């Protein structure tokens, strides 16, 4: 099989295709012949040496695949053999084959292509945890979705619509028409406009009930100012660290400097909540996550989960896929196909 390795930290050129023997499935696991692998922002952070959870380099990243089960490990049910599946993977997705424990493997809805199915595990689970599980979003609340044009942003639009919420998003201007066609109620070009006064204008000075913020540092401090009483801030990334040229963990220092401290009394008096989400630290909560995935895959069959594939790159062009995302041209998900 072929795998795409991050050979060392650096630009997209450090991604190299290498031949390797097919992996035998381990106990309780199956081997999946990959038809589509999702590319995530975390993969780019890993390549740049900015991702604390990344495996030691050289390594094969890739947090999600869709494909066909082609081998069964000891103690895993033979029923999986030949089935079309989708699976979150703890790395290794940028490959022709990957091994995953059966508890992490799900039947692919027949209505989805493999590329569409590969958009679901990371983006939709993250948005679900942010909005439904921890954000407790209810009908008629207003949500501010930062980076609305990314994969998590598009998933958040689907889930927010499903909950009957009003959706405001920040994104560069070229993505606005598309995002509105997906159901975003108001789009703010944060590259040209200060988004905070605009959010306050759109909410008649009240602010919003839920904010999804993957930027980090001082951006979280600013987001807090847009929360109305009962508002919740969901923090789930430090994209702003990519602006720094310093290596991990020094690059986070600039982000840390601006990071707000949340005093319990201040939160209590302001009727506000703050919480963090890191999907990559939920591998030991399989039952919980399984129920979320089941609900989202059912949503795809019902039609309210609408996976959008912006662009498909061949596996060997993983570097081009990274460069494409880094140039901010993607509207939602980018997928690799072996
Ligand atoms: N904690 C978790 O479990 C978890 C899970 C998934 C993702 N995340 C985080 O969520 C964030 C978004 O992920 P995603 O998969 O939605 O990303 P994505 O699909 O790559 O989209 C990111 C979008 O954000 C904007 N952006 C802002 N700062 C950027 C930067 N420095 N470089 C490139 N684009 C930037 C761009 O849109 P504009 O054109 O509008 O600027 C871009 O299209 C990332 O920080 C990621 O690490 C966290």
Q: How far, in Å, CA of 244 to CA of 30, rounded?
A: 40
- The CA 114 to ligand 1 mean position distance, Å, reads 22
pLDDT band at 248 (very low <50, low <70, confident <90, very high): low
For residue 241, what pLDDT band results from cuts at 50, 70 and 90?
confident
In the 8-state DSSP scheme, what is residue 272? -
Cα(214)–Cα(127) distance, rounded to whole angstroms?
A: 11
- CB neighbourhood size of 127 (10 A): 27
CA distance 295 to 289: 10
Give residues with Cβ within 8 angstroms of 17, minimum separation 6.
2, 3, 4, 5, 315, 316, 318
Residue nearest to atom 28 of ligand 1 (CA): 239
Q: In the chain, pLDDT over 70 holds for what percent of residues?
A: 98
Q: Is the pTM of this model over 0.85?
A: yes
Which burial class, exposed, middle or buried, applies to 254 when counting CB atoms under 10 A from its CB (0-12, 13-18, 19+)? middle
Q: Ligand 1: distance of its center to the CA of 153 in Å?
A: 8
What average pLDDT does the chain have? Answer: 95
Print burial letters for 143-181: b (CB count within 10 Å at least 16), e (below 16): bbbbbbbbbbbbbbbbbbbbbebbbbbbbeeebbebbee
130 lines ligand 1 (CB under 6 A): no
Ligand 1 neighbourhood includes 149 CB (under 6 angstroms): yes
pLDDT at position 247: 65
Q: How far is the CA of 236 from the centre of ligand 1 (A)?
A: 10
Residue 240 has pLDDT above 90, yes or no: no
| Gyration radius of the chain's alpha carbons | 20
Distance 219 CA to ligand 1 centre (A): 14
Q: Is 279 in the pocket of ligand 1 (CB under 6 A)?
A: yes
Q: Of ligand 1's atoms, which has the minimum distance to the CA of residue 171?
A: 40
The answer to whether 47 and 9 have CB atoms below 8 angstroms apart is yes
Q: Are 99 and 92 in contact (CB under 8 A)?
A: yes
325-334 pLDDT, tens digit each: 999 999 999 9
Contact 257, 232 (CB under 8 A): no
**For the CA of 334, the nearest atom of ligand 1:** 19
User: In the predicted model, what is the mean pLDDT of residues 95-101?
Assistant: 98
Q: What is the pLDDT of residue 239?
A: 85
**Peptide linkage before 58 cis (omega within 30 of 0):** yes
The total of other beta-carbon atoms located within 10 Å of residue 182's CB is: 21
Alpha helices (H) in 163-270, listed in sequence order: 176-182, 195-202, 218-224, 250-258, 264-270
- Residue 303, Cβ density class (10 Å: 0-12 exposed, 13-18 middle, ≥19 buried): exposed
Q: Which has the higher per-residue pLDDT, 47 or 245?
A: 47
163: left (phi over 0), alpha (psi -120 to 50) or beta: alpha
pLDDT at position 50 is: 83
Give me 297's structure tokens.
């895959």
Is 124 close to ligand 1, i.e. is its CB under 6 Å away?
A: no
Question: How confident is the model at residue 252, as a pLDDT?
Answer: 72
For residue 41, pLDDT beyond 90: yes
The answer to whether 211 and 223 are in contact (CB under 8 A) is yes
Q: What digits encode the pLDDT tens for the residues 9-33?
A: 999 999 999 999 999 999 999 999 9
Q: What is the pLDDT of residues 103-136, one digit of tens each?
A: 999 999 999 999 999 999 999 999 999 999 999 9
Nearest to 232 by CA among 330, 134, 328, 332: 134
Instruction: Read off the pLDDT of residues 277-290 as tens digits, 9 standing for 90 and up.
Output: 999 999 999 999 99
pLDDT tens column, 149-186? 999 999 999 999 999 999 999 999 999 999 999 999 99
Given a cut of 80, whether residue 311 has pLDDT beyond it is: yes
Does the structure show a pLDDT above 80 at 145?
yes
């Amino acid at each position: 099989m072929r795998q795409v390795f991050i050979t060392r930290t650096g630009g997209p050129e450090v991604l190299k295709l290498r031949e390797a023997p097919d992996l035998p499935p381990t106990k309780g696991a199956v081997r999946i012949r990959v038809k589509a692998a999702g590319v995530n922002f975390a993969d780019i952070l890993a390549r740049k040496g900015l991702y604390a959870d990344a495996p030691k380099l050289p390594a094969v990243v890739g947090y999600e695949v869709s494909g066909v089960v082609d081998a069964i490990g000891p103690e895993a049910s033979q029923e999986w053999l030949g089935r079309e599946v989708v699976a979150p993977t703890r790395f290794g997705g940028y490959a022709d084959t990957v091994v995953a424990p059966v508890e992490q493997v799900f039947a692919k809805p027949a209505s989805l292509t493999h590329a569409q199915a590969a958009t679901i595990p990371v983006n939709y689970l993250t948005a679900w945890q942010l909005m439904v599980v921890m954000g407790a979003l209810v009908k008629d609340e207003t949500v501010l979705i930062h980076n609305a044009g990314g994969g998590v942003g598009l998933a958040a639009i689907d889930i927010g619509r499903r909950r009957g919420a009003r959706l405001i998003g920040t994104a560069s201007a070229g993505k606005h028409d598309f995002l509105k066609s997906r159901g975003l109620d108001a789009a703010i070009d944060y590259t040209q406009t200060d988004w905070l006064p605009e959010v306050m204008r759109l909410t008649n000075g009240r602010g919003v009930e839920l904010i999804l913020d993957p930027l980090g540092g001082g951006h979280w401090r600013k987001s807090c100012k847009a929360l109305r009483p009962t508002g919740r801030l969901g923090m789930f990334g430090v994209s702003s660290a990519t602006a720094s040229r310093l290596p991990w963990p020094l690059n986070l220092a600039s982000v840390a400097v601006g990071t707000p401290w949340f005093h319990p009394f201040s939160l209590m008096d302001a009727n506000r909540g703050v919480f963090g989400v890191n999907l990559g630290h939920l591998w030991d909560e399989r039952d919980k996550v399984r129920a979320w995935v089941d609900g989202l895959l059912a949503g795809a069959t019902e039609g309210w989960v609408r996976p959008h594939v912006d662009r498909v790159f061949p596996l060997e062009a993983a570097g081009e896929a990274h460069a494409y995302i880094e140039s901010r041209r993607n509207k939602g998900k980018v997928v690799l196909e072996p």
